[in-house]
Amino acid sequence: MKLEDLKIVVSGGAQGMGRHFAVRLAEAGAQVAVGDVNEVGLAETLEAGKAVQGKGKIHVRRLDVADEADVASFVAWAHGAMGGLNGLVNNAGILRDGLLVKKDRETGAVKTLTKAQWDAVIGVNLTGATLLARDVVAKMVETNTRPGVVVNISSIARHGNRGQSNYTAAKAALASNTVTWSREFASFGIRVGAVAPGMIETPMTQGMNQKARDALVANIPVGRIGLPEDIWVAVKFVLECDYFNGRTIDVDGGLSM
């Protein structure tokens, strides 16, 4: 698809990669509906969109992807605001890291990953992404819109990463459902692809423990942390390449977690 023909939803667009995707899409001429729970960040994304020299436009509204009713309402709003809907970048995600079982070296106390930590990450990163894909695609089918495209943002953590049982489970499932959905939506003329970032410079990674962050960066063969633009290049490819479908692209500088 041509970027200028897109009327596309970007979730988690109040900061980081989501904001970068939204601005680059608007710059290319797309209509972009951006959702996030961070309303201050949404306002900043809207202003960033106004500053670009392009024919596109950014529309913003609060969105909690883990809330089924809110997702349905957002998709209806996005369709109306943009005068149609033919794409989705499924980007919203959170971290609630922790070892599944941990023993304190000093006290010997055993600590475990809480159900609240598990539920929060699965709720946003998997259930939320699934609800949004479902409702966006349903709207496309209902309005006989084709072609269409969905880009899921997975992670290289899907291969397994210490201290991220919840995040790994969600991102692995999202990569697997990229295949499932590509097969289910093919008859509707809708493609589904995924991009799996490695270590990327975002507010999420900036909040990491510095020692852990430095250790990860030291293991990246290209010698640096990734930038949102690096991931945008891959997202752009998935959006534009009409023969790409049902696959996940790792963009990680060669990092093995």
> Which 3-state string (H, E, C) describes 39-88?
HHHHHHHHHHHHHCCCCCEEEEEECCCCCHHHHHHHHHHHHHHHCCCCEE
Q: Is the peptide bond before 147 cis (omega within 30 degrees of 0)?
A: yes
**What pLDDT is stored for residue 214 in this prediction?**
84
How far is 181 from 68, CA to CA, in rounded Å? Answer: 19
**What pLDDT is stored for residue 217 in this prediction?**
86
How far is 2 from 231, CA to CA, in rounded Å? Answer: 18
Secondary structure class of 234 (helix, strand, coil)? helix
Instruction: Name residues of the chain where pLDDT drops below 50.
Output: none
Domain boundaries, the chain: 3-250
- What is 3-250's CATH number? 3.40.50.720
Q: From the candidates 167, 181, 185, 232, give the one annotated as an active-site residue.
A: 167
**What pLDDT is stored for residue 257 in this prediction?**
65
CB neighbour class for 201 (10 Å; exposed up to 12, middle 13-18, buried from 19): middle
Asked if 243 is an active-site residue, the reply is: no
43, 49 contact by CB (below 8 A):
no
102, 162 contact by CB (below 8 A):
no
pTM of the model: 0.94
* E-strand stretches of the chain: 7-11, 31-36, 57-62, 87-90, 101-103, 110-112, 148-153, 190-197, 248-251
How far is 175 from 158, CA to CA, in rounded Å? Answer: 8
Here the tokens at position 74 are 């957002």
**What pLDDT is stored for residue 205 in this prediction?**
77
Here the tokens at position 132 are 């949004």
**What pLDDT is stored for residue 215 in this prediction?**
82
